[in-house]
Structure 1
Amino acid sequence: MRQPQIDLHRLLTDVRELVETESPSIDLDAVARSAEVVARLGAAHVGAPPERLVVDGVTHLRWRFGSGPHVLLLGHHDTVWPHGTLDRIPYAVTDGVLRGPGCFDMLAGLVMAFHAVAALPSPEGISLLVTGDEELGSPSSRALIEAEAREASAVLVLEASVGDGALKTARKGTSMYEVEVVGRAAHAGLEPGKGINATVELAHQVPAVAALASPSAGTTVTPTSASAGTTLNTVPAVARFTVDVRAWSAAEQERVDAGMHALEPVLEGAKLVVHGGINRPPLEESMSAALFERAVSVATRLGLPVPDQAAVGGASDGNFAAGVGTPTLDGLGAVGGGAHAENEHVLVDRLVDRTLLLHGLLEDLVAGRSAEGSRNRP
């Protein structure tokens, strides 16, 4: 396996251009502008423009090279950072550390993907999908991701790594709920007994929901935001609270989902309406194990730092890919830290070796070395 030259200066130049193009997920115009920059950079590296796929106003990009099952590179160009963040946290490289909003999650990973594909003898057998709403839970791109993953032999996700470069071989699945409590309003001073207090009912339901957690299975069920009532002197007619659920297995997600929809009111006359449900399925280790072994083998062969593996509680679009049964390996992006935080950063001296690892893994997968089939195994 040959080892190409990766131009660090050009990597940094490309990352800077993406970081300095603000792309908060909630601003569709900004996401569209960001997509144009990503499209131009990608085309310059891979030699072809992408398809522009606009779904519900959100701009996604797709490249496909050749026919048959592809190795799918999966990433996103939206960020969590609002307009004006660049004024406080401008792009900078100091003492080997690159900073700037979105650099770690996951703009550096996109740039690495373009450089890795450009270094291949041919992009034949590769597809790239770059979405624009991952930070919102991928409401408009989920169907695209799942459709591309179903046609792929393997999915490599350019989300950032863990710690010193560990690859993400398991991710918890996520479920999101809102519990709406419906009571009946009444004057709190004149006739409180004629009311049905939604706040009191909410107080009964929160511990019932929290009890659905299973520490032994690693399943967390966390009541988060809550609201109730309208005025100080009115028995509240409506209350609501949201619930974040994380689980390592689909079976645990389904158990909690059944429990959420089986909730019963405690106060006579109160009603409960449960909104939401399972959002992202888990990326279970069985879906990444063979790809991880392959990545370790490639790193060893090329004399690159051999990555460790990690299981993480956060979800990504890789969960959707694994959920349709396609082998998926996550965390192949930058080494650094501070995702979604003021100290977001990328270690410059790891950009080249990580790009080489991605390139080597792509070359190995496309060549079909030691291939054992295209479904459920890389």
Structure 2
Amino acid sequence: MQPAPPVSASAQRLYERTRAQLVQVRTLLKGQASQSTVGSAFLVSGGGHLITNYHVVSQVALQPQRYRLVYTTADGQEGPLELLAFDAIHDLALVRAADGGLAGRKPLAFRPASQGLAKGERIYSLGNPLDVGFAVLEGNYNGLVERSFYPNIFFAGALNPGMSGGPALDEDGRVIGVNVATRRDGQQVSFLVPAEFAQQLLERSRDATPLTQPVYPQLTEQLLRHQQLLVERFLQQPWRPAGHPRYAIPVPQESFMRCWGTTTPADTKGLEFERSDCQMDTHIFITDWLHTGGIAVRHEAYDGRKLGRWRFASMYSRSFANESFPERTTRHRTAAQCRERFVDRDGLPLRAVVCISAYRKLRGLYDLSVLVATLDHPTMGVQGRFDARGVDYANALKLTEHYLAGYAWTGSH
């Protein structure tokens, strides 16, 4: 747990004003009190509706026969919760006190979308960090996260486990976001889901019938919409030039991806290479063991002239063979079905392997992997890999064609 800075008097006053609207959400095994997960939630209606994260309630959403939800208020009141709706894309869920025990309590108000936040404006995150009691943490608004496929708020504050699903408030106690994630590789770098998505979920689902069956059909529908939007936006963007003297190599734009590069030292005596690795920060939580909805693109450009053709051929072939794909069917996905073929790209010979793995409970969605190697030179070459998680079959074909079309000669080959 990251140490929190001292809480100011204004933060303490804000907490005292809003503590009655906060609850802890626990997932319990049915038939016993064994606790599986802990998160936070906050009241958004006088009828006992609460907003939390989808990942906080995902076990109940997917296995309602095994798990149940309960709430605990800051003053110790407890009761059962029922799941009404969820938005897995933005990691949100709408629940309601099933016993009516929260009816009549004043809900938190949302800050109007027309009143934008200024960078540096003070905001306050509330929740139940690490199941040790309700708390308020202070931080600053730092704008939206760059290169995120969906809007997320960059919050300079120390969110900790258990605070997921709690509210982030402005100085007037109005909701501006929902706690969702913290970077584990840095201090006090956290993210919030903008409040507008929580408002939309409440407005369209406040009268929904409680979900009592596994939500795979609804989850599949949401993921299909997401992948369609993702693929359309991705295909609209041209590949960036890789700067290689011999090959045009598909490198994605960085509008919603981050790219990193490495290279061998200039005095390397053996195989020289340059590597580019591009990935999306956006991944959609399904379960602790399954995240989907992202794209990754990488390549390695090899120069083996110092090795000679035979040693280079051996190393180049081993590098291609070392790529891995799902070999076994699991409870989430089938084993990958792969096909290899040789492709001629306007005279540039390519070896291509295309692999598809189907989601077992999210019907119509697949993981796609495309592996490519150039075959035109005895001591030089490029190997690339494209991965898309959770796309339908038609879009898998479009993405494969788009990726292969990104390989070509340059004018100087």
Which structure is higher in helix share? 1
Which structure has more relative contact order (CA 8 Å, sep 6+)? It is 1
Which structure is higher in strand share? 2
Please, what TM-score do these two structures have when normalized by structure 1?
A: 0.22
For the pair shown, which has the larger CA radius of gyration, 1 or 2? 2
Please, what TM-score do these two structures have when normalized by structure 2?
A: 0.20
